[in-house]
């Protein structure tokens, strides 16, 4: 089997999704050089980080976590595009797994009860075929050994991109975006919300507006990337 795999790798070489260099057989999705040199946020080492500060007064985060710093036309953007537009959902899962290892080493999220990925609207889910945030959450769930909840939070409103909107327009765009089902299962729980990339924070704020009606609920969040320059 090893010989067959080596032969196939010569004909159909696997490449790094960040830099496009060929991968060695012991590497998955991202080469070791990129794994060491992609711009990590290290927010798990600083509770008062840029993401927490951006959402201060809007969402009372216990932890605000993000694996990478988003830079336009950079390698992290290339990873996100591979996930969303090249159907690389397993890459999102892989990134969740490697970030979970960092979080476990730092002792973060030990008291989280459940992980909830930000859901897509049913129309967008049908068009894309999968939810990239869900697959990232799967990787986190597996390696953190936390329950994954795919039913409690429902997206009821389709929205347009937030990036070029002003602050009030962002909120108008996401107001009433989410509904909750089975709220009794989240009473007094610490919920980790998971999204692929955070730009304005408006989506997370909208999710919190739904969750905050639950008695005793606490919330943290984790993303693949954070576009800090947009804050």
Contact between 142 and 194 (Cβ < 8 Å): no
Q: Are residues 81 and 94 in the same domain?
A: yes
Q: How far apart are the first and last CA of the chain?
A: 50
Residues of the chain with pLDDT > 90, as a percent, come to 81
Q: What is the mean pLDDT of residues 164-187?
A: 76
Q: Is the pLDDT of residue 89 over 60?
A: yes
Q: Clarify whether residues 221 and 120 are in a common domain.
A: yes
Are residues 122 and 181 both part of a single domain? Answer: yes
6 and 95 co-located in one domain: no
| Number of domains into which the chain is organized | 2
Joined together, the tokens standing for residue 222 give 């984790």
Q: What is the pLDDT of residue 4?
A: 53
Strand 178-180 with 153-155, pairing: antiparallel
- Residues 54 and 27 placed together within one structural domain of the fold: no
> Which secondary-structure segment (H or E) carries 132?
helix 132-144
What is the rounded average pLDDT of the residues 222-230? Answer: 86
Residue pair 189/218 in contact by the 8 Å Cβ criterion:
yes
Q: Give the global pTM.
A: 0.90
Beta bridge partners of 194: 117, 222
Are residue 57 and residue 171 in the same domain, yes or no?
Answer: yes
Residues 97 and 30 grouped into a single domain:
no
| Structure-token pair, residue 224 | 């693949």
| pLDDT bracket for residue 170 (50, 70, 90) | low
Same domain, 44 and 23: no
- More reliable by pLDDT, 167 or 23: 23
Same domain, 44 and 84: yes
What domain range is 207 assigned to? Answer: 39-230
- C-alpha–C-alpha distance, residues 177 and 170, integer Å: 12
Look at strands 114-117 and 190-198 and give their pairing.
Answer: parallel
Q: What is the mean pLDDT of the chain?
A: 90
Percent of the chain past pLDDT 70, that is, above it, reads 87
Q: Is 222 helix (H, G, I), strand (E, B) or coil?
A: strand
* Together in a domain, 127 and 152: yes
- When pLDDT is cut at 50, 70 and 90, the band that residue 158 belongs to is confident
Domain CATH number, residue 145: 3.40.50.2020
* In a shared domain, residues 162 and 196: yes
pLDDT above 90: residue 22: yes
Task: Please indicate, yes or no, whether residues 83 and 153 belong to a single structural domain of this protein.
Answer: yes
Contact 19, 36 (CB under 8 A): no
Tell me if 93 sits within 8 A of 169, measured CB to CB: no
């Amino acid at each position: 089997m090893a010989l067959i795999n080596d032969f196939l790798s010569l004909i159909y070489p696997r490449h790094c999704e960040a830099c496009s260099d060929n991968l060695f057989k012991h590497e998955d999705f991202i080469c070791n050089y990129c794994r060491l040199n992609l711009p990590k946020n290290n927010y798990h080492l600083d509770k008062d980080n840029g993401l927490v500060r951006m959402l201060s007064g809007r969402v009372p985060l216990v932890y605000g976590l993000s694996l990478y710093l988003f830079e336009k036309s950079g390698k992290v953007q290339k990873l996100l595009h591979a996930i969303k537009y090249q159907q690389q959902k397993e890459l999102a899962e892989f990134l969740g797994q490697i970030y979970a290892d960092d979080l476990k080493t730092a002792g973060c999220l030990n008291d989280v009860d459940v992980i909830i990925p930000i859901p897509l609207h049913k129309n967008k889910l049908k068009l894309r075929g999968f939810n990239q945030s869900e697959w990232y959450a799967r990787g986190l769930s597996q390696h953190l050994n936390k329950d994954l909840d795919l039913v409690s939070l429902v997206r009821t409103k389709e929205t347009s991109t937030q990036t070029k909107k002003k602050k009030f327009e962002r909120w108008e765009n996401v107001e009433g975006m989410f509904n909750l089902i089975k709220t009794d299962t989240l009473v007094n729980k610490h919920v980790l919300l998971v999204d692929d990339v955070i730009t304005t924070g408006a989506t997370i704020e909208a999710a919190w507006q739904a969750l905050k009606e639950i008695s005793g609920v606490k919330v943290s969040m984790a993303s693949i990337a954070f576009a800090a320059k947009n804050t």
